[in-house]
Amino acid sequence: MAEAGTRKKLLLISNGHGEDLLGATLAERLLGISGLELTAFPLVGKGRAYTALGIPLVIPGREFPSGGFLRNSLKNLLLDLGSGIIGYTRKQVQALRANRNRFDLAVCLGDLYALFLVGTSLRPPVFFLPTAKSDYIRPHWWLEVKLMRRFAAKVFPRDALTAAALAGQGLPAEFAGNLMMDALRFTDPGFPPRKEGEWIVAFLPGSRQEAYINMEDLATVAVAFQGLLARKGERRTAGFWVALSGGLDFAEVARHLEPLGWSVRPLVPGEAENGVAGCLQHKGGGYPGSEGQSGGGTIRMTVVKGRFADILAACDGVVGLAGTANEQAAGLGKPVVTFPGRGPQFTAEFARMQKRLLGEAVALTEREPALVATELYSVLTDDKRRAAVVRAGRERMGEPGGAERITGIIKDYLGV
């Protein structure tokens, strides 16, 4: 094993919670290299994905009201300004400059802001993973290309189309794979259990505080979908499974849904051991257009933590108000139905950008329960449409294996 003083020092710097997860996914492979010492610098949030792996941070992270989306609205910007983001950003720059000569390589995950910050504050070469940009949304501007040419020793775009476009402009760009697909952790192919004649529908409310508001909308979709099945005389039923982020609280979800007619069902033996945080039930009906209808009987919704990938693998369709999670679902060939949320992240513009990014893999509709339910039923029952979803998802997201390939490139580059 290499002595601590002779190890190469690598900095992982990421600009967002999703980017932290991708950085940690790469770090899991890098930790297996004995001649490498890892340090992380999350620009947004507390960097829990890194600290969970025992990777030290350059400075302690901090949460702000916008959750890293301060550019999405004036309100978010003002909230962050009032919470001291200017002073904290200054502190981040000072910390980077104080470590200017410490690292042999910096791996930057995020947007051009993160690359500019690293490029102007640190001396080592930079590998850049532009997670937020794709030519499926729009090509890079000339200034973005110029910054990458100036600061990045290598560029690993998120898809093959973008990599080819950047390489065609003379950048050291290549598509090594999409780390989002490597970040999925499958543990049990038999979970969640499937009942005969049942569709498994996954609800993805997102990972930030707006997830509680999103759950209100998703729960209303569940009621509308069950009512739609009842009106159509559909013999199949639906089981709704919520993939709840580890930082969110089931009790808070239940509090938000209680006024909508949902109640908590006590857990049965074995559920908690399988990651079930709680179960909710609704007697049906109670959505616009459901007056005088039974709503298809009692509706059950199971909220789970730590089994996100298993739920995605098992589900037949997804209704999601999430960024990375929606994209991962599409990459697995699962049809995703989405609509603009009411929080600061999953805005109408964000949803439109995600639609351009994922193409036929995602169906974008209005925030109207009956419309969402109709769209979900369509993607579950139309075989041709499902085949198009699988093709689009794999094309836009790529196959797993990117983390291993990028790790190999880093290892060769540093000679460790």
Structure tokens at 387: 């085949």
Cross-strand partners of 263 = 281
Predicted local distance difference test score (pLDDT) of residue 328: 94
In 3D, which of 245, 244, 238 has the Cα closest to residue 379?
A: 238
In whole numbers, what is the pLDDT of the chain averaged over residues?
88
Kind plus residue range of the DSSP H or E element containing 226: helix 211-232
User: What pLDDT band is residue 209 in, cutting at 50, 70 and 90?
Assistant: confident
Q: What share of the chain in percent tops pLDDT 90?
A: 66
Predicted local distance difference test score (pLDDT) of residue 80: 60
Residue 96 has pLDDT above 80, yes or no: yes
Decide: residue 335, CB within 10 A, 0-12 exposed, 13-18 middle, 19+ buried.
buried
Average pLDDT over residues 205-213: 89
In tens, the pLDDT along 264-314 reads 999 989 899 889 999 999 986 554 444 444 445 789 999 999 999 999 999
In tens, the pLDDT along 401-413 reads 999 999 999 999 9
Phi-psi region of 295 (alpha: psi -120 to 50; beta: other; left: phi over 0): left
Predicted local distance difference test score (pLDDT) of residue 88: 64
Average pLDDT over residues 70-77: 60
Angle 402-414/17-30 helices, nearest 10 degrees? 60
Which residue type sits at 222? A
User: What pLDDT band is residue 233 in, cutting at 50, 70 and 90?
Assistant: very high
C-alpha to C-alpha distance for 8 and 38, rounded to whole angstroms? 9
User: What pLDDT band is residue 82 in, cutting at 50, 70 and 90?
Assistant: low
Predicted local distance difference test score (pLDDT) of residue 67: 59
Higher pLDDT, 79 or 272: 272
In order, the DSSP letters of 305-368 are SS-HHHHHHH-SEEEE--SHHHHHHHHTT--EEE---SSSSS-HHHHHHHHHHHGGGEEE--S-
State the alpha helices, DSSP H only, in 73-210. Answer: 74-82, 85-98, 112-121, 142-151, 160-167, 179-182
Q: Are 176 and 156 in contact (CB under 8 A)?
A: yes
C-alpha to C-alpha distance for 84 and 17, rounded to whole angstroms? 19
Indicate the length of the chain as a whole number.
416
Q: What share of the chain in percent tops pLDDT 70?
A: 89
C-alpha to C-alpha distance for 62 and 2, rounded to whole angstroms? 33
In tens, the pLDDT along 341-393 reads 998 888 999 999 999 999 999 999 999 999 999 999 999 999 999 999 989 99
In tens, the pLDDT along 135-152 reads 999 999 999 999 999 999
Predicted local distance difference test score (pLDDT) of residue 84: 55
What Rg value do the Cα atoms of the chain yield, rounded? 22
Cross-strand partners of 242 = 203, 303
Domains and CATH numbers, the chain: 4-184+400-414 (3.40.50.2000), 198-397 (3.40.50.2000)
Structure tokens at 132: 């937020």
pTM higher than 0.85: no
Residue 181 has pLDDT above 80, yes or no: yes
Predicted local distance difference test score (pLDDT) of residue 326: 95
Residue 116 has pLDDT above 60, yes or no: yes
